[in-house]
Amino acid sequence: MQFDTWVVRLRESIRLDRYLTGQLPHVSRNRIQRHIEHGDVLVDGRRVRPSHRLHGGETLRLPPVAARQLGTVAEAVEFRVVYEDTDLVVVDKPAGLVVHPVGAEARRTLLGGLHRRLEARDESAAELGIVHRLDRLTSGLVVVAKSLVARRRLARQVERRGLHRVYLGFVQGRPPAASGCIELFIRRDPRRPTRMQALGAEAAAAGNRISQPHVSASGYSNPRRDLRARPARTHYRILRRFAGATLLQLELDTGRTHQIRVHLQAIGTPLLGDPIYGPPETDRTRPALHAARLEFEHPTSGAALRFAAPMPADLHALARLLSQSTG
């Protein structure tokens, strides 16, 4: 059997199974985990578990993993195509739609919908791949590569922060200034490992002195026990004021898990509707967050690309409701 060899390049550590899920978007995470458990995937020549933590620089050896046939299992889903060419497609994703197959969510995904779209036009979807993530409950712009070469080039832009995203978010209350920068470290909540929490520099440093990556001598790891805090920076600007709420423009210098949501909660202005970090007295349907602008270089021509997506109907309805309460 022939094997592929990859050198891992990362900005921050990640589980092996999650890393491979991102690199092989057509392959289910369960199937990737089975390959790892069977010893098909080697990290620096060693067998490891799916939870093994990658830190960058490792060499992976794995057999060619055939993509599952998304076109046969994917359901038709609704989304708006903002731009498309031979290398990529930019989509305005509705809230509630998962970007790529995860666990049981394999049928109703953005990736599956795009797969069906290409196959309906007799175009190859074999190398279709997600370039960056957007939470299921967040609406807005996502870029998807149509070839492996384009995906690798766009991924390098993400790594060096060349892919620029601007969000709109409705928050409870009002930030302390018309514009500013939130610089707080982010780590996994030790009491609720599915959530994240923000820390100041001193608390982060103190926690990091006693926190370890939890990689055992045999090479196994548990990311939910990795409590190391990592720096994160979010810029905000007030766009509109309401009674008891504010519309913000938000931009990221880093891309930590739940960064916008955690940072806004930490400064006392949580996103309206956020089921995890939002104010308890509001309808927690979904975070009032929308990826409104997207800028990057075309992976082939190098041309500057800029796209915008208007706020969806539910956020317009929220704005009208807040305006009425203001009046």
Catalytic positions: 135
Residue among 98, 171, 143, 194 nearest 309 (CA): 143
Query: With contact defined as beta carbons under 8 Å apart, do 73 and 135 qualify?
Result: no
Give the span between the Cα atoms of 37 and 164, in whole angstroms: 37
CA-based end-to-end distance of the chain: 70
The residues, any chain, with a CB within 8 Å of residue 61's CB and separated by 6 or more, are 3, 4, 5, 41, 42, 45
Query: Which two three-digit tokens encode residue 147?
Result: 């070839």
User: At 206, which amino acid appears?
Assistant: A
Q: What is the dihedral of CA 38, 112, 130, 22, to 10 degrees?
A: -20
- Return the residue matching tokens 């970007």: 99
Backbone φ, ψ for residue 266 (5° rounding) = -65, -30
Query: Which two three-digit tokens encode residue 66?
Result: 């055939």
302: left (phi over 0), alpha (psi -120 to 50) or beta: left
Q: DSSP string of 173-213?
A: S--SSSEEEEE-EEEE-SSSTTSEEEE-HHHHHHHHHH---
